[in-house]
């Protein structure tokens, strides 16, 4: 109930109410962004972009009870844009990577699980993360991603089949 009241205040132009709301969900936004972009700096950039876009467009939110869902949709869109832009970047040769620091320990996922999730297509990754990481129902996922309910289910089951296959092939488990 408090969240809904804060959303209504923020929609009326109350900056402090928006700040409280955003800070409440900032960790969720960062985690979702990190899974897509795979590094701390880009994830923080996504969080900043989500803050800007959500602040600017909060008056377009029709149902205050879906504020978190709305924020996560903005996060997915921003993270996907960053990934798309990064594909155009030329990467250094692996021999030079030893001179650069890496910070892959931000998310409490094991590297094998993170690698498995990163092997999924963006739509598959979105459905898996929303279902198991954020505990959304299939109906909520279909509304959030703008896809039919049956498609959300089939994408999830297809993704899980891919993950199982990769898990078994990757010497991650013993048979």
Inter-residue contact 56 to 41 (CB < 8 Å) = no
| Tokens linked to 39 | 């590094």
Say how far residue 125 (Cα) sits from the centre of its chain.
9
Question: pLDDT above 90 covers what percent of the chain?
Answer: 50
| Tokens linked to 56 | 């600017």
| Tokens linked to 156 | 């999830």
Q: Who contacts 114 (Cβ-Cβ below 8 Å, separation ≥6)?
A: 35, 104, 107
CA 163 to CA 168: how far, in whole Å? 9
Categorize the per-residue pLDDT at 23 as very low, low, confident or very high, splitting at 50, 70 and 90. Answer: very high
Categorize the per-residue pLDDT at 89 as very low, low, confident or very high, splitting at 50, 70 and 90. Answer: low
Q: Which domains does the chain have, with CATH numbers?
A: 1-86 (1.10.1740.10), 110-175 (1.10.10.10)
């Amino acid at each position: 109930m408090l969240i809904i009241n804060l959303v209504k205040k923020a929609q009326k132009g109350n900056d402090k109410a928006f700040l409280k709301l955003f800070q409440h969900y900032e960790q969720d936004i960062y985690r979702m962004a990190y899974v897509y972009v795979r590094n701390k700096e880009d994830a923080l950039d996504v969080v900043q972009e989500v803050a800007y876009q959500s602040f600017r467009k909060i008056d377009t939110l029709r149902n205050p009870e879906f504020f978190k869902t709305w924020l996560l949709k903005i996060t997915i869109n921003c993270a996907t844009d960053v990934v798309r832009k990064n594909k155009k970047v030329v990467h250094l040769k692996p021999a030079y990577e030893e001179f650069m620091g890496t910070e892959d320990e931000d998310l409490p996922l094991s590297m094998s699980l993170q690698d498995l999730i990163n092997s999924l297509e963006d739509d598959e990754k979105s459905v898996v993360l929303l279902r198991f990481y954020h505990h959304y129902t299939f109906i909520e996922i279909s509304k959030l991603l703008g896809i039919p309910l049956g498609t959300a289910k089939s994408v999830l089951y297809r993704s899980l089949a891919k993950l199982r296959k990769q898990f078994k092939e990757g010497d991650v488990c013993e048979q």
